[in-house]
Amino acid sequence: MQSRILGQGAQSLKVSAVGLGCMGFTQSYPPYPTREEVIRTLRQAVALGVTFFDTAEVYSYGLNEELVGEALQPVRDQVVIATKFGYDLSETPDLDSSSRPVKLSSRPETIRRAVDGSLRRLRTDHIDLYFQHRVDPQVAIEEVAQTVSELIKAGKVLYWGLSEAAAATVRRAHAVCPLTAVQSEYSLWYRRPEEELLPTLRELGIGFVPFSPLGKAILTGRFNADSKFDKNDFRPVIPRFQGENFRHNLQLVDYITKLAQNKNTTPARIAIGWLLAQAPWIVPIPGSKRIERIAENIGGADISFSSLELQGIRAFIDKLAILGERYPASQEALTNK
């Protein structure tokens, strides 16, 4: 597995060129594997060369972190674990519940409580990369940055980042406590970060970690206009996956599938390879519950494109408008703050 560097100078962090998003092991994409299957898959991913694992406190209210911590404990010194704060779980003691609502909160006391809980569940004495999960409009980002800087001085956190933050917010946070990475959705399916965020990260020397690099699996070619989703799958509530929007958007999937056939590879590898070709400081974190798919996804690091191929892809995606928002309105309101 190739490696890449997130951040610059004292904020630089070496990780595998493709990481693993762990959310799907316990939420949003049923059916879920057993605890034993999750642990086995995560350890197999390490054996394949994955060194970068992303989870969050709020994923299944701590259960996701517990599984990641148990699986990676034997290889803790070989991997980079990223997790996230930004919600108040003080009123959600039942960690096996996945339906109880949680409140957005990045108050200093909430962050300090969150980091201790994450350290315990992850079975470690430090968090390698600590993201604010969503910007809290009730707490100045400077106050958040100052709180995290204290955690860094205490050795509980090594590096930090923001998730789904606007460029202006990134600048303000970085001025107080330098950021190593920003995490946001980015793919052939969703390219809004290209407008302001990516130029800002390039200027400031901050790495970028795209989540949903496969467009919530649409870019793998698994789905067609007749596909049915599990009743607990959250994709059907996403406007991009609904009705005429979905049928229109499948044009992108058809295009990527043809590219993959021409290069004797898979659509997933085309999608991930394209992301990696955008900048050397981009590290996607596709999620999968199956080791076969993880192996396929990390193979995207071996895909190369000529300048003419990249120009052709850019011409196509610039011409094709993707219809529908990427989240329901209630969730979209929490992004790009």
Active-site residue numbers? 59
Q: Are 65 and 121 in contact (CB under 8 A)?
A: yes
160 beta partners: 130
Q: Which residues of 144-179 are buried (b: 16+ CB within 10 A; e: fewer)?
A: bbebbeebbeeebbbbbbbbbbbbebbbbbbebbbb
Please check whether residue 58 is in contact with residue 102, taking contact to mean a CB–CB distance below 8 angstroms: yes
Mention every residue, 6+ apart, whose C-beta is less than 8 A from residue 65: 55, 56, 57, 59, 83, 118, 121, 122
* CA distances from residue 85 to 210, 279, 286 in whole angstroms, order as listed: 18, 27, 20
Q: Give SS3 for 170.
A: helix
